[in-house]
Structure 1
Amino acid sequence: MKASLVGDIGGTNARFALWRDNDLHAVQVLATADYSSPEQAIEAYLKDQGLERGDVSDVCLSVAGPVDGDEFRFTNNHWRLSRSAFCKVLQVERLSLINDFSAMALGMTRLKPGEFVEVCPGQADAARPALVIGAGTGLGVGTLLSLGEQHWMALPGEGGHVDLPVGNAREAAIHQQIHSQIGHVSAETVLSGGGLVRLYQAICALDGAAPRHKTPAQITDAALGGEPQALAVIEQFSRFLGRVAGNNVLTLGARGGVYIVGGVVPRFAELFLRSGFAASFADKGCMSGYFPGVPVWLVTAEFSGLLGAGVALQQMLDH
């Protein structure tokens, strides 16, 4: 019996695994910069597993961007892909591409104890949508729907590019500071790795402080070390994330809960859990009463996108 393969391809790393018995096996992480194409990276992965071209029948890849048509250009690395050429080169019978946040959403159905932390208490309504939102290289937003009998549907979207919401005079000043530099201010402008730096620079400018840090890691480390300016940035980041997540909950009716994913927030998880996220999340005027009981979790699982690609593949194989 031929193998099935799943992949989760990001800007820096591509994660691959064999999909067998409804689970991941032989997970391996490869640097995208080391390979000229996804085909070349997959061949290297297969070689490490003692497999060759033609040994894999089905492939499902999680990728950043819309997945229509034969040609796909990765938005966060130098790779390009033609579905027909991919199948021919690797002698694959079927290739499925799934939006990265659709895969991330499906991955939430496989969370295990210890892979998430409660941010806001509540009881998820399984009959209602769940929101999956995460800051990383950009800001991803996805929707998870239960179809019953352990079947799921993930709806992709571009919710990271909505306008950044403003809730008070300080946030209006921050918005204006950033707008004066770049024009339109989307949620992703602030709620991403690069956005953390942009937010830090804006707050320093408003407070008349000279910026001391140039990378997200430096800002996070400074905040964890107690530096007031960096702490203020993390606090404001958390509050903006609360506002964006709350807007999405109202739009979707997402009483199925909110999953916060991505690489940025887990790096300052303790600060985030003590932040004003929850207050901003529910700060919706006459609709603030909608939020008590909507659970929010911070997800720390390592391979949710890869698992989600596997869930998508399994659902296709089952049909």
Structure 2
Amino acid sequence: MIVTLTANPSLDRTIVLADVLRPGDVQAAAGSREDAGGKGINVSRVVAAAGIPTLAVLPLADDDPFDAAVRHAGVPALRVPVAGLTRANVTITDPAGTTTKLNLAGATLDAAEATAVIDAVVAASADADWLVLAGSLPPGAGDDFYVRVVAAVRAAGHTPRIAVDASGPALRAVVEHAHVDLIKPNDEELAELAGVDLRPDEDAAASVLAVARGLVPDRVAAALVTLGAAGAVLVTAEGAWQGSPPPIEVASTVGAGDSSLAGYLLAEVAGAPAPDRLRSAIRYGAAAASLPGTQAPTPSDLPSGDVPVRALAHRP
């Protein structure tokens, strides 16, 4: 069982253009779609499509139209009643695969609602193998919200491994105070976390490894760092590896990182070794990038091309 928390869900509206985006101009859309979004929900959608039990925890008002999108996604969900309505995010993609995103902040989560969400996660995690805390935090939750979730789950005696896919102050708080089993930043989020600049003229994998080794294993057990078209790097206490994606035609990069995390977890619960967990992460991320909108790739969507993985040697 893989349980996810999406504290700040979103209705993801994707608009597909027939030509490049021209700011300030009027353009006709070639197509559009709507998906139940938010990082945790995206992870659960991929996990469910692979036939592995999952439960998505999310705050949701009784009269929120977003519930229809959740039901359409076919994801088992634990809804925590709140007053605010789910935000809508807009993604614009062009034929070249260039993605422009407009993300709203989301409804405010008050103290009682935040406590109710934490209590729901604790209850859902009783028999979970993994708990995924993913995405931005809504106004009112506080930068330490994920830290409080982790503490509550552990205080209850539950022992799921915990993965966090966040950025900025929320990720920094987790790394400083929670010592989780896995973080999944991209290279820019990792650099922000460490307060360093990753030079574009340097080897991306080597640069990421140097930064991640400052965190793993002392502050987090492992780090899966996505590099976009350059693949991903996995760093654990036992070693580090870099993998390259197979060739694909990019349709939309929205949700690709979430699918990478799901692919990693699917391989992990199947008992795969670290290099194969990295391969699965990259293959699922590539599959998501080849699909329009925020679609969850299924096993049949995975690209068949090779995913080369090499071990990385740390150079102090």
Higher helix share: 1
What is the TM-score with the length of structure 2 in the denominator? 0.31
- The structure with the largest alpha-carbon Rg is 1
Larger relative contact order (C-alpha < 8 A, sep ≥ 6)? Answer: 1
